[in-house]
Homo-oligomer: A and B are copies of this chain.
Amino acid sequence: MDRRPVSIKDVADRAGVAIGTVSNVLNHPARVSAATRERVQGAIDELNFVRNDAARQLRAGQSRTIGLIVLDVGNPFFSSLARAAEDCASENGSTVVLGDSGQDVVREARYIDVFEQQRVQGMLISPVGDVGPRVEALRKRGMPVVLVDRVDPQRRCSSVSVDDIAGGYMAVRHLLEAGRRRIVFVGTKADYRQVADRLTGARQAVEEYDDAVLEVVEADAMTVLAGRDAGEEIARRRGSGLPDGIFCANDLLAIGVMQAVLLIRGLRIPEDLALIGYDDIDFSASTVVPLTTVRKPTELMGRTAVELLLEEIEAPASRRRQVIFDPELVERGSTTTSVRAGV
């Protein structure tokens, strides 16, 4: 019904005080006497006053908002990272607004522009492709930026990321400790750095055991279907050609491999063949044999990203930090018969 929104002046008139007093009630209640405070609060309630953030921000010169740009909100990694970031920000009196670039440089650029015009306190960006020029331009204008899931090669801004070499090492080490020696790594041609890192880690683990061998089976894509193709080929093997442990570069591949191995040849998992994936997607706990996998510490990454950003906002001259987390092993039934807890 109200045609134009209620301003602080309307509240002041209603309560019979100066606008400065209303502002004090909102921002420094202690400075105002109890009687006045109540009267002003009453006027605010009666009029349904909602503070105009644009005006506040204009005057204050800074907002209480953090921009977060992710590659894909549909990806559980990013959605739970976003949630953790929101929690951490709200504990610090800020709000996170989310932009989904959908791996599209144009959309990414649009969100960066919008956030900059909105004068967000800072941005958390999981960048598409080349980070360099765009982020540098932002930094030149004094906008704090923290990279997520990617490191700035030039160390110009702080970042949080995961050590995939360590992850690959953990996965294969786990297979080896379970007594497996004929290990297969299933992954795409190492076009992604992440796949390459996981393989590197796998190699390091195998080298620690004299009697262990690692074979690489190439998949066409990082999908269930590609995993099933790879799995079928492997499942058909006889004798010593058949591995006793498989490490897949992600969970989708592992699920495909599991489907093939169980159905084509009726092998038992983990007795005949131990299987481990990577990422811990939602579905991995619900496969026929629950999938052991390696998980990024998502919540921790989200919180840390916000903390690094707030640090930089408060002390713009402080040194940039590259925080690299180790992933964690999630043991389920596909590698061990006795699992601690099935989720």
A residues in contact (CB < 8 Å) with B? 1-5, 48, 50-55, 57-58, 61, 63, 72-74, 76, 79-80, 82-83, 86, 90, 95, 97-100, 102, 107, 110-111, 113-114, 116-119, 137, 140-142, 223-225, 252, 255-256, 259, 262-263, 282-283, 286, 288
Contacts and interface: CB of A to CB of B under 8 A. Distances in A.
B141 A5 contact: yes
B99 A223 contact: no
Q: Binding site of A, secondary structure by majority: helix, strand, loop or mixed? A: helix
Contacts of A58: 52, 54-55, 58
Contact of A255 (B114, B116, B119, B286): B286
Contacts of A225: 286
A123 to B, nearest CB: 13
Q: How many copies does the complex hold?
A: 2
Nearest to A106: B90
Contacts of A137: 48
Nearest to A48: B141
Nearest to A252: B286
B99 A97 contact: yes
Contact of A288 (B72, B113, B263): B263
A142 B224 contact: no
Contact of A286 (B4, B53, B142, B223): B223
